[in-house]
Each structure stands twice: as structure tokens, then as C-alpha cells.
Amino acid sequence: YDTYIPQLVEDARAAVDKAVALGVVDRDRIGVTGHSHGALMTVNLLAHTTFFRAGVATSGSYNKTLTPFGFQNERRSVWKARDVYLKVSPFFSADKIKLPLLIMHGMADDNVLFTHSTTLFKKLQDLNKPFDIMTYPGSKHGLLRHADTGLHGYSTIKRFLDTQLDGDAE
């Protein structure tokens, strides 16, 4: 994770440039979404790039210092790689987010503590950033995979992205 942010930015740049070159996307109407570690990536992309017009992050871990003994393929503790934990955590870059973000999280998440979303929510609120939060009482980590929350979650995401990207796609 020493070079995580630069790699993430360059990978996103390459994907966006290729999709635009193929003619399958409008560069001015691209949203980004991610779940779990992908949510961390989504929020980091909104903080560190201008490639996207909005983002949706579900069940993300936004402050890696709250997982001090490693995460994903990072095996060093926060005490051995403090700078990595801080740079990877979009919570510490929330002031750079200028684009709309929808945060979604199940309140009974058994994989990523719900407090990750609530602390990011509070930080964005304090900074007057454009965001919304949708919480699901009783839902666990895979909230979009369950019949009781999935349909509502996906329709919420669609409405949010249609509104933010000025789209009318079905």
C-alpha cells in the first residue's frame, strides 16, 4: 500500500480514457461506485481525482487506523506503517472531496464497523460537503445482496446517479 493512491489514480485515469476512446462513456457523466474495499477506493477517487461527477460507497472502511493490525494485503500494523494508514484512509482527505457522494451502510454490518460511515458522515457534514447517507437497520455487510434492502438500495443508487449525472437512463 505504499503506492496505493498513485496506482489507484493512474488505473482510474487509464480506465476512463479507454472507455471514452471506445465511445462507451461521456467523460462529463461518469460516476464511480464501490462496496467494502471498493467503497474505500470510491471515496479516495473522489478525493484525489476529477475523473468522476459523483460516487456511491457502500459498507466502506474509511479510516484504516481503526483496523490497526492490517487490512487487505497490508500486513504491517499502524505503528509500523503510520503514513500508509493515514494516506490510504479517505477520512483524512475528506476536505478534498468536492463532488456528491452517497454513503450506504448496514447498521448491523458484521465485517466493517458502522462507525466508519458515521464518522465520515460527520466529517463531511462539518465540512459542508455534498453528500447523503442511507443507513439500513439490521442489515449486514452485503446489504445490497438481500431482498429486503437490495431493491431499495439499487433504486436509491440509480436515482442518486441519475440526478447527479443529469441522466435519464432506465
DSSP 146: S
Question: Does residue 132 have an active-site annotation?
Answer: no
Predicted pLDDT at 167 = 56
| 89, 93, 105, 109: the active-site residue | 109
Question: Does residue 36 have an active-site annotation?
Answer: yes
Question: Does residue 155 have an active-site annotation?
Answer: no
Q: What are phi and psi of 74, to 5 degrees?
A: -85, 110
| 36, 59, 117, 139: the active-site residue | 36
| CA distance linking residue 1 with residue 97, whole number of Å | 21
Tell me the average pLDDT of the chain: 93
Q: Bigger pLDDT: 102 or 150?
A: 102
Q: What pTM was estimated for this model as a whole?
A: 0.92
Mean pLDDT of 71-97: 95
User: Cβ distance 156 to 124 under 8 Å?
Assistant: no
| 37, 141, 146, 152: the active-site residue | 141
Percent of the chain predicted with pLDDT > 70: 98
Predicted pLDDT at 170 = 46
Predicted pLDDT at 149 = 82
Mean pLDDT of 18-28: 96
Q: What is the pLDDT of residues 111-122, one digit of tens each?
A: 999 999 999 999
Question: 138: pLDDT confidence band, cut at 50, 70 and 90?
Answer: confident
Is the pLDDT reported for residue 106 higher than 60?
yes
